Amino acid sequence: MAAAKFILHSPVSDEALLDEFVEQCLRDQASLVAIVGPGSERIEDIIDALVVGDASSPDRILCTTSHPDEPLDDVVRLVQAWEEELGGVIQEVRL
Protein backbone atom coordinates (compact mmCIF):
# COMPACT_ATOMS: atom_id res chain seq x y z
CA MET A 1 0.00 0.00 0.00
CA ALA A 2 2.10 2.90 -1.21
CA ALA A 3 -0.22 5.85 -1.65
CA ALA A 4 0.08 9.37 -0.35
CA LYS A 5 -3.66 9.89 0.12
CA PHE A 6 -6.52 7.52 0.86
CA ILE A 7 -10.28 7.59 0.54
CA LEU A 8 -11.75 5.08 2.96
CA HIS A 9 -15.33 4.03 2.27
CA SER A 10 -17.69 3.73 5.22
CA PRO A 11 -19.31 1.73 6.63
CA VAL A 12 -16.35 -0.53 7.35
CA SER A 13 -17.19 -4.22 7.29
CA ASP A 14 -14.69 -5.14 10.04
CA GLU A 15 -13.39 -2.38 12.31
CA ALA A 16 -10.64 -4.72 13.54
CA LEU A 17 -8.95 -4.10 10.18
CA LEU A 18 -8.57 -0.38 10.96
CA ASP A 19 -5.57 -0.91 13.24
CA GLU A 20 -3.41 -2.50 10.53
CA PHE A 21 -4.69 -0.03 7.92
CA VAL A 22 -3.63 2.92 10.11
CA GLU A 23 -0.24 1.39 10.88
CA GLN A 24 0.37 0.80 7.16
CA CYS A 25 -0.61 4.41 6.40
CA LEU A 26 1.88 5.62 9.01
CA ARG A 27 4.65 3.37 7.67
CA ASP A 28 3.95 4.64 4.14
CA GLN A 29 3.95 8.24 5.42
CA ALA A 30 0.48 8.87 4.01
CA SER A 31 -0.66 12.45 4.41
CA LEU A 32 -4.45 12.08 4.39
CA VAL A 33 -7.24 9.62 5.01
CA ALA A 34 -10.63 10.98 3.92
CA ILE A 35 -13.51 8.83 5.13
CA VAL A 36 -16.65 8.98 3.02
CA GLY A 37 -20.10 7.59 3.72
CA PRO A 38 -22.43 6.85 6.61
CA GLY A 39 -20.73 6.65 9.99
CA SER A 40 -17.57 8.29 8.70
CA GLU A 41 -17.33 10.65 11.67
CA ARG A 42 -17.13 7.72 14.10
CA ILE A 43 -14.54 5.95 11.91
CA GLU A 44 -12.51 9.18 11.84
CA ASP A 45 -12.55 9.28 15.66
CA ILE A 46 -11.35 5.66 15.81
CA ILE A 47 -8.53 6.36 13.34
CA ASP A 48 -7.49 9.49 15.23
CA ALA A 49 -7.32 7.49 18.48
CA LEU A 50 -5.23 4.81 16.78
CA VAL A 51 -2.83 7.41 15.41
CA VAL A 52 -2.38 9.14 18.77
CA GLY A 53 -2.21 5.88 20.75
CA ASP A 54 -0.70 6.57 24.14
CA ALA A 55 0.74 9.88 22.84
CA SER A 56 4.30 8.68 23.44
CA SER A 57 5.33 9.07 19.81
CA PRO A 58 4.99 12.62 18.44
CA ASP A 59 6.03 11.53 14.94
CA ARG A 60 2.74 9.65 14.40
CA ILE A 61 0.97 12.15 12.16
CA LEU A 62 -1.92 11.44 9.81
CA CYS A 63 -4.59 13.95 8.83
CA THR A 64 -8.15 12.68 8.65
CA THR A 65 -11.41 14.11 7.37
CA SER A 66 -14.96 12.72 7.41
CA HIS A 67 -17.60 13.21 4.76
CA PRO A 68 -20.84 11.48 5.79
CA ASP A 69 -23.16 13.27 3.38
CA GLU A 70 -20.90 14.43 0.55
CA PRO A 71 -20.87 12.90 -2.91
CA LEU A 72 -17.79 10.81 -3.67
CA ASP A 73 -16.86 13.11 -6.57
CA ASP A 74 -16.62 16.07 -4.16
CA VAL A 75 -14.41 14.10 -1.78
CA VAL A 76 -12.16 13.00 -4.65
CA ARG A 77 -11.70 16.65 -5.66
CA LEU A 78 -10.85 17.61 -2.09
CA VAL A 79 -8.30 14.80 -1.83
CA GLN A 80 -6.78 15.73 -5.20
CA ALA A 81 -6.34 19.32 -3.99
CA TRP A 82 -4.76 18.18 -0.69
CA GLU A 83 -1.04 18.93 -0.92
CA GLU A 84 -1.48 19.13 -4.68
CA GLU A 85 2.06 20.38 -5.12
CA LEU A 86 3.38 17.07 -3.76
CA GLY A 87 1.35 15.02 -6.21
CA GLY A 88 0.84 11.48 -5.05
CA VAL A 89 -1.46 8.63 -5.73
CA ILE A 90 -5.00 8.51 -4.36
CA GLN A 91 -6.11 5.06 -3.34
CA GLU A 92 -9.71 4.14 -2.54
CA VAL A 93 -10.03 1.55 0.20
CA ARG A 94 -12.87 -0.65 1.42
CA LEU A 95 -12.35 -2.61 4.61
pLDDT at 77: 94
Domain ranges of the chain: 5-94
Class of domain 5-94: alpha beta
Cα–Cα distance measured from residue 55 to residue 71, given in angstroms and rounded to the nearest whole number: 34
| Rounded (5°) CA angle 58-63-68 | 145
pLDDT at 92: 96
Query: Average pLDDT, whole number, for the chain?
Result: 92
- Per residue in 12-33, pLDDT (tens digit) is 999 999 999 999 999 988 999 9
- The answer on pLDDT for 48 being more than 60 is yes
**Residue 60: CA atoms inside 13 Å, Cβ hemisphere, count?**
14
Q: pTM (2 decimals)?
A: 0.92
- The answer on pLDDT for 34 being more than 70 is yes
pLDDT at 3: 62
